[in-house]
């Protein structure tokens, strides 16, 4: 099955299942989601609305490479949009002294992330908010991290250009941003791809967002 079709299946099933297996990629999950070897966990508490993508954690070595690629440092404010168990902002705070926010629509993930922040001793620098990533204000971010789906990244693009300052770095695990070409692409030892962009002074002319901005002037 084509990758895009598999990802589509994944997106439409997100209201029903969460999968509690670490180290799987979204793609692996979608390939096997109807097999018996899969562990399905029904969320005990309903989120406000169905998540747009199920929870699959980024493996810790990939988290480390994402933060390294973005050159995260103690002056940064990192936003992980769809933050799961909080590992990206928690690692950014504990390893680099950054401040961070994790945004997740699922209250179960927020609870888990708060516990993990407590354990890591970073609750003074990291906050988790149960919000929809499409409506949350990210204007004070200097780094944004993503592990969503290709279509969600593209849907998010106008918001990134509207709210983020030029120079803000964005890193995405495994999925690109359609016609917005990355500044760098790295393949990790685990076989994951990390995409890296920097918000430019001007929106690239090939994107519909650029046309929308110029016609609004």
Ligand X SMILES: C[S@@+](CC[C@H](N)C(=O)[O-])C[C@H]1O[C@@H](n2cnc3c(N)ncnc32)[C@H](O)[C@@H]1O
Is 65 one of the binding residues for ligand X (CB under 6 A)?
Answer: no
Among residues 83 and 153, whose Cβ is nearest to ligand X?
Answer: 83
Interface of this chain with ligand X, residues 126 to 145, rule: CB under 6 A: 132-134
Query: Strand 143-146 relative to strand 40-41: parallel, antiparallel, unpaired?
Result: unpaired
- CA pair distance 193, 53, nearest whole angstrom: 18
| Interface with ligand X, residue 87, by CB under 6 A | yes
Alpha helices, H only, 13-106: 26-32, 60-69, 87-96
Of 9, 22, 25, the closest CA to residue 112 belongs to: 22
- The 7-36 site mask, x for binding ligand X (CB under 6 A), equals -------------------x----------
Number of residues engaging ligand X in binding (CB under 6 A): 24
DSSP 8-state code for residue 200: -
Residue 80 binds ligand X, judged by CB under 6 A: yes
For residues 103 and 81, the answer to whether their CB atoms sit within 8 Å is: yes
DSSP H/E element including 210: helix 208-216
Decide: is 106 part of the binding site for ligand X (CB under 6 A).
yes
147 touching ligand X, by CB under 6 A: yes
Backbone angles phi, psi at 128, to 5 degrees: -115, 130
CA pair distance 198, 175, nearest whole angstrom: 16
CB of 193 to ligand X, least distance (A): 14
Q: Any contact of residue 72 with ligand X (CB under 6 A)?
A: no
Sole binder of ligand X in the list 65, 76, 104, 174 (CB under 6 A): 104
Among 25, 57, 117, 170, binds ligand X (CB under 6 A): 57
Q: Are 28 and 59 in contact (CB under 8 A)?
A: no
Which of 25, 29, 30, 83 lies at the binding interface for ligand X (CB under 6 A)? 83
- According to CB under 6 A, which one of 98, 103, 126, 170 is a site residue for ligand X? 103
């Amino acid at each position: 099955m084509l990758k895009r079709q598999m990802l589509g299946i994944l997106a439409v099933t997100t209201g029903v299942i969460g999968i509690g297996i670490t180290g799987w990629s979204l793609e692996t999950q979608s390939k096997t989601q109807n097999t018996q070897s899969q562990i399905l966990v029904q969320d005990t508490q309903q989120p406000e609305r169905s998540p747009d993508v199920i929870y699959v954690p980024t493996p810790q070595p990939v988290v480390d490479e994402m933060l390294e690629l973005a050159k995260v440092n103690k002056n940064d404010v990192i936003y992980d949009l769809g933050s799961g168990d909080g590992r990206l902002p928690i690692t950014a705070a504990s390893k680099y002294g950054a401040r961070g926010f994790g945004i997740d629509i699922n209250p179960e993930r927020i609870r888990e992330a708060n516990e993990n922040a407590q354990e890591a001793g970073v609750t003074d620098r990291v906050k988790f908010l149960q919000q929809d990533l499409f409506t949350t204000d990210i204007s004070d971010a200097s780094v944004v991290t993503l592990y969503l789906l290709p279509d969600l990244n593209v849907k998010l693009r106008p918001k990134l250009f509207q709210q983020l300052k030029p120079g803000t770095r964005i890193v995405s695990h495994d999925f690109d941003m359609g016609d917005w070409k990355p500044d760098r692409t790295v393949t990790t030892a685990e076989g994951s791809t990390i995409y890296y962009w920097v918000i430019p002074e001007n929106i690239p002319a090939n994107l519909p967002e650029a046309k929308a901005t110029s016609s609004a002037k």
